[in-house]
Structure 1
Amino acid sequence: MKRLSLTAALVALAIGYSAPLQAADYTIDTKGAHASITFQIQHLGYSWLKGRFNTFGGAFSYDAAKPQDAHVSVTIDTSSVDTNHAERDKHLRSADFLETDKFPEATFVSTKISVTDGNKAKISGDFTLHGVTKAIVIDAVLVGEGKDPWGGYRAGFEGKTVIALKDFNVKMDLGPASREVEIFLSVEGVRQ
């Protein structure tokens, strides 16, 4: 469960700011709540339903001199889905959507990093959800990096991607406006 930093790993390595020239390992700071995985989907085309996953973890490794060799992995506890509405969250955990009793985790493992512009990169990887693995691309941006007040070193990133529910065998169809989910990542990693 302690693997996450999709956005962080790949963008950081792609940027190389003041990062060390040898590979460094980072752990996502979930203990300090300095990371989040949120999502939004249109509700019948009338409004946006927003939510988050409260339990996840991840790690990344990268060498600023070889950003293309970076690696990121993330694991999400799907039962931690939270839309601030208990009955809806129960439905999201059911066989209509995430089927969390059968598929308790979603994972992302990077396969390629492409620097697109200065502090931006595209992180390609395999995303597994609801028992289905598909290739996705995360658009990532470096927020910043450097020493923290406690003698450590941190790197922070943001990323976003869009997935189609049907690609992951989600049974419920809420109509044409609600077939894709936007996923947002805000990641702060602590160098180990």
Structure 2
Amino acid sequence: MRKVVLVFAASLLALGAQAQEQKTVWSLDPAHSSVGFSVRHMMVSNVRGEFTQFSVSVTTVADKPETAQVEVSIQAASIDTRIADRDKHLRSADFLDVEKFPTITFVSKKVEPAGNGKFRVTGDLTIKGVSKPVVLEAEVSPVMKDPWGNLRVGVHATTTINRKDFGVSWHKVLDTGEVVVGDDVRVILDVELVRKP
């Protein structure tokens, strides 16, 4: 009986080790990735910008996208809209308050297949210390092997958030009644992930 128990325990340990081995980490290729956003300006145009410093880590089991655990960390001070004065204002307490809240994060909770290489990624987005659940609509490319033997995959993901939900509430009303900055912010992630052989 003791022998049977020992064999069973050894089998469980072997299965656990095998499951652990099946977990793989996909790393970001920053040279081929971007985190951008767009927001309405005076209700007449969209202003676009990006964050130039960020990290993305994706862990999967058996390379199945629906098993992915996604973590994104963005350096808030790296915001860039190509206008220095505007970027300075966006870094201030009126908007991102980067000195007090230096990072923006997203941690996935669930990944659901949506057909044809598309997925819904539900997770917690944290901006200015405020965490809210959001859903990213993601499209994942087929996995390919690059000339160096690495596996690569591309992910295009979008979501729209209301900035005031995260305490980014600065606004100015024009004489016409329109606001200078819209409330809805569209977030766009285009990332290339690499898995070394």
TM-score by length of 2: 0.82
What do residues 34-64 of structure 1 show as CA deviations (whole Å, max 9, x unaligned)? 1100000000101111000000011101125
Please identify, of 68-77 and 154-163, the stretch whose mean Cα deviation from structure 2 is larger: 68-77
Q: How does 1:101-116 map to 2 (within 5 A)?
A: 101-116=99-114
Gaps of 5+ in 1: 1-20
By relative contact order (CA 8 Å, sep 6+), the higher-ranking structure is: 1
Contact 2:37 2:48 in 1 (8 A): yes
Structure 1 residues 70, 44: closer, same or farther in 2, change over 3 A?
same
- Kept after mapping to 2: 8 A contact 1:37/1:184: yes
Tell me, in whole angstroms, the C-alpha distance in 1 between the residues paired with 2:145 and 2:166. 40
Unaligned residue ranges in structure 2 (runs of 5+) = 1-20, 173-178
How many angstroms apart in 2 are the aligned matches of 1:140 and 1:66? 14
Taking the aligned partners of 2:63 and 2:193, their CA distance within structure 1 comes to: 19
- Taking the aligned partners of 1:157 and 1:66, their CA distance within structure 2 comes to 14
Could you tell me whether the CA contact under 8 Å between 2:171 and 2:181 is conserved in 1?
A: no
Corresponding residue for 1:10?
A: none
Give the stretch that moved more between structures: 144-153 or 78-87. Answer: 144-153
Partner residue, 2:142: 144
Q: 2:56 & 2:95 partners in 1: Cα distance?
A: 24
For the 8 Å contact 2:51–2:79, the answer to whether it is kept is: yes
Match of 1:157 among 155, 158, 168: 155
- Give the CA RMSD over aligned residues: 1.7
1:151 Cα deviation after fit: 1.5
CA gap 1:38/1:65 in 2 versus in 1, 3 angstroms = closer
Give the % identical residues.
41
Task: Return the letter of the residue paired with 1:190.
Answer: V
The 2-side partners of 1:144 and 1:70 are apart by 15
CA shift for structure 1 position 143: 2.7
* Structure 1 counterpart of 2:32: 34
Instruction: Determine which of 117, 120, 123 is the counterpart of 2:118.
Output: 120
Matched residues, number = 170
Determine the structure 1 residue equivalent to 2:194: 190
Query: Greater shift after overlay, 58-67 or 157-166?
Result: 58-67
Q: Do the aligned residues in 1 keep the contact of 2:71 with 2:106 (CA within 8 Å)?
A: yes
1:72 to 1:149, Cα distance in 2 relative to 1, 3 A? same
Quick one: which amino acid aligns to residue 25 of structure 2? D
Larger Rg: 2
The CA deviation string for residues 69-128 of structure 1, in whole angstroms up to 9 with x for no partner, is: 320101000000000000000000001100001000000000001101120000000000
TM-score (norm 1): 0.84
Contact 1:93 1:100 in 2 (8 A): yes
1:133 to 131, 134, 137: 131
